[in-house]
């Protein structure tokens, strides 16, 4: 009997092993079935000496396919997350902190809009690109499934479009409005008609030392000492995560030849240049989201009054699977509501509806593709008129010396007579949006007399020096244009804007400016400290003396920057309020604890940290040399945002392109085994640049590896 039991147990064990082997074989066989046929795409990846991928394809779709493969090699985790977000499944893999993404994907109806509009609103060219890009991911996952195990194949073009559509509204800080509505902190007072005031920003809207921003400026031939046109492409994004910039070059025989930055999951270049033109985006934050208080039917909690009648809310249930710990998951259910205004949220104070720019928009890649392919400023302007980007300033320059800037957004057409900053009545069609403002009526500058344009996350009314700026009176308050002026805007006008003949050396030097303007918020904070009665405590008196002597710069060896920037950081995070002496005392305590002095050289405190790399930096929050910071346990500031991928493009007086770039880390930021994990970090810390190679001859003169997707990987990937 015991022998029979042993045989039975052995057979069961063998059967189990057989099932596992069969499951593994079937799974692998299923995965590899998604490898595209060999003759479907023709793409070559040329890695230069810095590891930057230059993708050459016969068609634009071929290039997009090769781009996906290269991005997966270098940034597989963020590519995987991009797909999970698109499918509303990231919380099931990454845990509860990501559940809000899955909820908002459903509340915003992203997949529904993509299904409805994919064939209708995206051109065949763009559909071919996103589908080729998806095939590149499928190919990579099929051969490297262990690196991206959470992606269920096939990835589709609709996945790529859905992820892009989801991210777009958050560039203008939609999350701030969402957080207030979801938490019930927005208040219940409804603004009535006749309460209109001039627009001002919401308080505490901007996180000062960790806030995505950006710099861009250009000078034309009349402003350059040598007749060149120069463009600084200097968007500021997080240094890690799903919206960090990746440098790539796309070239096809259909006329695509763009180099610049894209995000993980981005099937094309989002900012950069070719041999003819270039552009940069900077973030703007006009009022592009409105909140409506719905009057609910006391006899039916799912009906709201609109134009004198009760209407049913559209309703559904979001089922969000969340990984709790280890293999343990739980599916949570959340109510989904929609009114005529848009998504609606029920909180303890009632039901509130949202209208926001980008809701229902899936055409972002359509516009970026047209911008990529534009050969002249007229073609570029035609792409801008598509108005598919819900926000983002755009600054352009080209080889003929033309300059252009637009405070770009999908501005809603709103009725006069309401305070659109507040809570709006949701019971009347008078407060519904009536379309969007035509592109020709948004603030913009074309070829100003000064030969100079800048965009540094400020109001659009100081885009150039002298004449040629948009005038505030030409734009109604209902557009919600932001009134703020950043230090970077002030310093751009105080450097580039005061130099009538800018050399190449000066163009670079101004970009790396590390000073706070005397009109900046930091300077005003400093004046407040120096005017306050300071207790007769030796440490505070010493601190005040250091601040008196601080020259408002953040050079590496500056002795006052550590105290000045730390105090400014604490002051801003307290909403520019609170006990300034208490903040000064906190600052001195932190410095003494971690440095034993109040005036350590700035680079001892300001660090670039990536893996084992730990380098001192110059620059700081809201400087032209922009470094947004996070205070670490050891009392140092770690760079987390700000200057990342920087491109400096120049067309000489004959129209010949020359450019340089630098990335804060390198081209393979997830792979510590790669020589390109942090090989650009020393350049970045030393404020130097590497050459950009655009022609195949130049690339081959600096070539490290050439291969086709699926033919094998570079040696630094061999261990994976």
Q: What is the mean pLDDT of residues 385-402?
A: 98
Examine residue 476 and state whether it is found in any structural domain, yes or no. Answer: no
Q: With 50 as the cut, is the pLDDT of residue 22 above it?
A: no
Q: What is the pTM of this model?
A: 0.92
User: pLDDT-derived band of residue 12, with 50, 70 and 90 as boundaries?
Assistant: low
- Other beta carbons within 10 angstroms of residue 682's beta carbon come to 12
Q: What is the mean pLDDT of residues 561-580?
A: 88
Q: With 90 as the cut, is the pLDDT of residue 32 above it?
A: no
Provide the 8-state DSSP code for 222.
G
User: pLDDT-derived band of residue 6, with 50, 70 and 90 as boundaries?
Assistant: low
User: pLDDT-derived band of residue 579, with 50, 70 and 90 as boundaries?
Assistant: confident
Sign of the Cα torsion 538, 543, 548, 550 reads positive
User: pLDDT-derived band of residue 184, with 50, 70 and 90 as boundaries?
Assistant: low
How far is Cα 162 from Cα 104, in angstroms, rounded to an integer?
A: 12
Per-residue pLDDT, 25: 44
CA dist 185 → 165, 180, 291, 294 (Å): 27, 5, 12, 16
Examine residue 545 and state whether it is found in any structural domain, yes or no. Answer: yes
Per-residue pLDDT, 31: 78
Examine residue 423 and state whether it is found in any structural domain, yes or no. Answer: no
Q: With 60 as the cut, is the pLDDT of residue 717 above it?
A: no
Per-residue pLDDT, 261: 98
Examine residue 533 and state whether it is found in any structural domain, yes or no. Answer: yes
Question: For 50-105, what is each residue's pLDDT tens digit?
Answer: 999 999 999 999 999 999 999 999 999 999 999 999 999 999 999 999 999 999 99
Q: Among the listed ranges 24-33, 83-92, 278-287, 307-316, which one has the minimum average pLDDT value? A: 24-33
Q: With 90 as the cut, is the pLDDT of residue 522 above it?
A: yes
Helix (H) or strand (E) holding 429: none
The number of domains in the chain is 1
Per-residue pLDDT, 183: 74
Per-residue pLDDT, 176: 87
The mean pLDDT value of the chain amounts to 91
Chain-centre distance for alpha carbon 86: 17
Q: Among the listed ranges 378-387, 389-398, 473-482, 573-582, which one has the minimum average pLDDT value? A: 573-582
Q: Which CATH number goes with the domain that contains 559?
A: 1.10.1400.10
How far is Cα 96 from Cα 162, in angstroms, rounded to an integer?
A: 21
Sign of the Cα torsion 77, 80, 85, 90 reads negative
Examine residue 516 and state whether it is found in any structural domain, yes or no. Answer: no
Per-residue pLDDT, 14: 56
- Other beta carbons within 10 angstroms of residue 149's beta carbon come to 10
Q: What is the mean pLDDT of residues 508-513?
A: 98
Q: Whose structure tokens read 């002496």?
A: 581
Question: For 139-152, what is each residue's pLDDT tens digit?
Answer: 999 999 999 999 99
Q: With 60 as the cut, is the pLDDT of residue 189 above it?
A: no
Per-residue pLDDT, 393: 98
Examine residue 338 and state whether it is found in any structural domain, yes or no. Answer: no
720 or 235, which is more confident? 235
Residues sharing a CB contact under 8 Å with residue 10, sequence separation 6 or more, in sequence order: none
Per-residue pLDDT, 205: 24
User: pLDDT-derived band of residue 396, with 50, 70 and 90 as boundaries?
Assistant: very high
Q: What DSSP string runs through 97-113?
A: GGHHHHHHHHHTTHHHH
Q: Among the listed ranges 11-25, 418-432, 664-678, which one has the minimum average pLDDT value? A: 11-25
- Parent domain of 587: 521-618
How far is Cα 577 from Cα 596, in angstroms, rounded to an integer?
A: 28
CA dist 699 → 19, 47, 456, 519, 695 (Å): 50, 8, 33, 45, 6
Looking only at the bridges linking them, the beta strands covering 423-425 and 289-294 are parallel
Examine residue 549 and state whether it is found in any structural domain, yes or no. Answer: yes
pLDDT cut 70: percent of the chain above it: 91
Examine residue 606 and state whether it is found in any structural domain, yes or no. Answer: yes
Q: What is the mean pLDDT of residues 567-572?
A: 91
């Amino acid at each position: 009997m015991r022998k029979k039991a042993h045989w039975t147990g052995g057979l069961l064990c063998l059967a189990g092993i057989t099932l596992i082997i069969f499951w593994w074989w079937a799974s692998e066989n299923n995965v590899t079935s998604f490898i595209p046929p060999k003759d479907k795409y023709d793409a070559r990846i040329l890695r230069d000496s810095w590891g930057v991928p230059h993708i050459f394809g016969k068609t634009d779709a071929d290039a997009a396919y090769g781009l996906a493969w290269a991005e997966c090699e270098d940034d597989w985790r963020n590519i995987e997350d991009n797909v999970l977000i698109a499918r509303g499944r990231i919380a099931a893999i990454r845990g509860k902190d990501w559940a809000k993404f899955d909820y908002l994907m459903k509340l915003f109806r992203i997949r529904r809009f993509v299904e409805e509009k994919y064939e209708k609103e995206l051109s065949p060219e763009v559909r071919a690109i996103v589908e080729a890009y998806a095939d590149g991911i499928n190919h990579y996952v099929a051969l490297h499934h262990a690196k991206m195990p959470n992606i269920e194949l096939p990835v589709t073009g609709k996945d790529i479009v859905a992820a892009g559509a989801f991210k777009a509204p958050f560039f203008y800080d939609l999350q701030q409005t969402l957080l207030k509505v979801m938490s019930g902190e927005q208040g219940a007072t409804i603004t009535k008609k006749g309460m209109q005031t001039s627009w001002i920003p919401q308080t505490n809207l901007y996180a000062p030392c960790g806030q995505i921003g950006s710099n861009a400026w250009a000078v034309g031939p009349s402003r350059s000492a040598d007749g060149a046109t120069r463009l600084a492409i200097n968007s500021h994004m997080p240094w890690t995560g799903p919206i960090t910039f990746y440098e790539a070059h796309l070239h096809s025989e259909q006329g695509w030849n763009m180099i610049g930055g894209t995000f993980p999951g981005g099937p094309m270049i989002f900012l950069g240049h070719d041999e003819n033109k270039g552009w940069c985006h900077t973030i703007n934050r006009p009022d592009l989201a409105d909140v409506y208080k719905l009057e609910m039917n006391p006899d039916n909690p799912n009906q709201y009054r609109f134009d004198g009648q009760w209407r049913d809310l559209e309703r559904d249930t979001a089922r969000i699977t969340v990984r709790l710990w280890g293999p343990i998951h739980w599916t949570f259910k959340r109510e989904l509501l929609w009114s005529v205004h848009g998504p609606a949220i029920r909180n303890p104070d009632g039901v509130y509806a949202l209208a926001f720019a980008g809701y229902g928009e899936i055409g972002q890649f359509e516009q970026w593709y047209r911008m990529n392919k534009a050969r002249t400023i007229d073609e570029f302007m035609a792409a801008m008129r598509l108005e598919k980007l819900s926000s983002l300033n755009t600054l352009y320059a080209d080889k003929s010396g033309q300059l252009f800037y637009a405070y770009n957004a999908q501005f809603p057409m709103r009725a006069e007579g309401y305070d659109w900053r507040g809570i709006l009545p949701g019971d009347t069609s008078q407060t519904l949006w009536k379309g969007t403002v035509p592109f020709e009526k948004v603030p913009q500058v074309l070829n100003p007399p000064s030969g100079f344009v800048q965009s540094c996350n400020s109001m659009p009314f100081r885009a150039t020096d002298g004449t040629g700026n948009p005038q505030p009176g030409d734009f109604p308050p209902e557009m919600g244009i932001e009134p703020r002026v950043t230090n970077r805007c002030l310093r751009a006008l105080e450097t580039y804007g005061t130099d009538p003949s800018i050399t190449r050396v000066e163009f670079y030097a101004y970009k790396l400016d590390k000073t706070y303007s005397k009109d900046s918020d930091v300077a005003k904070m400093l004046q407040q400290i120096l005017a306050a009665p300071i207790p007769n405590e030796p440490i505070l008196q010493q601190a005040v003396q250091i601040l008196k002597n601080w020259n408002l710069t953040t050079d590496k060896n500056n002795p006052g920057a550590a105290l000045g920037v730390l105090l400014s950081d604490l002051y801003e995070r307290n909403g520019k309020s609170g006990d300034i002496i208490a903040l000064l005392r906190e600052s001195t305590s932190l410095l003494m604890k971690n440095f034993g002095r109040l005036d350590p050289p700035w680079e001892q405190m300001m660090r670039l940290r990536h893996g084992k790399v730990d380098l001192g930096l110059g620059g700081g929050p809201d400087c032209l040399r922009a470094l947004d910071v996070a205070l670490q346990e050891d009392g140092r500031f770690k760079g987390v945002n700000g200057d990342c991928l920087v491109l400096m493009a120049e067309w000489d007086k004959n129209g010949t392109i020359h450019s340089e770039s630098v990335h804060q880390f390198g081209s393979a930021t997830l792979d510590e085994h790669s020589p390109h994990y942090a090989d650009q970090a020393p350049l970045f810390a030393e404020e130097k640049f590497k050459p950009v190679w655009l022609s195949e001859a130049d690339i081959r003169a600096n070539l490290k590896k050439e291969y086709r997707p699926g033919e094998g990987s570079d040696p630094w990937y061999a261990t994976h």
